[in-house]
Amino acid sequence: GAVVSQHPSWVICKSGTSVKIECRSLDFQATTMFWYRQFPKQSLMLMATSNEGSKATYEQGVEKDKFLINHASLTLSTLTVTSAHPEDSSFYICSAILAGVTDTQYFGPGTRLTVL
């Protein structure tokens, strides 16, 4: 159990376009989901915390107008990278907390974004 999926697994886009990444908890409800970014050979950096039905909480230095997060249901959160630029190229990973169990995060497989 506790499977998290992401779609797409990889995406290539042109500079200036917007890209949407979906994160789904397949077999459990997730009141809280997290979005991370990971550059090559580096650790995961938390971008934002997404709570179902409310606005996301962004970490310092993360532009909320550039990285739009929507957590419309207990099983789906989306991250939209608006007006993407080459420096946004990265591995984006989401995680979800099993409702009622706050200390274990289950991670998705990640989405590789390449902006040309």
Partner 1 sequence: QKEVEQDPGPLSVPEGAIVSLNCTYSNSAFQYFMWYRQYSRKGPELLMYTYSSGNKEDGRFTAQVDKSSKYISLFIRDSQPSDSATYLCAMIESSASKIIFGSGTRLSIRP
Binding site for partner 1 (CB under 8 A): 4, 6, 32, 34, 41-44, 46, 49, 91, 93, 95, 97, 102-110, 112
Smaller CB distance to partner 1: residue 83 or 114? 114
Q: Indicate the pairing of strand 57-58 with strand 45-51.
A: antiparallel
Determine the Cα–Cα distance for residues 11 and 112; give it in Å rounded to an integer. 6
Helix (H, G, I), strand (E, B) or coil at 14: coil
Q: Indicate the pairing of strand 76-81 with strand 67-73.
A: antiparallel
> Please, what is the minimum distance in Å from the beta carbon of residue 68 to partner 1?
21
Determine the Cα–Cα distance for residues 9 and 92; give it in Å rounded to an integer. 10
Smaller CB distance to partner 1: residue 22 or 82? 22
Determine the Cα–Cα distance for residues 83 and 3; give it in Å rounded to an integer. 30
> Please, what is the minimum distance in Å from the beta carbon of residue 109 to partner 1?
5
DSSP 87: G
Smaller CB distance to partner 1: residue 28 or 107? 107
> Please, what is the minimum distance in Å from the beta carbon of residue 41 to partner 1?
7
> Please, what is the minimum distance in Å from the beta carbon of residue 6 to partner 1?
8
Smaller CB distance to partner 1: residue 57 or 80? 57
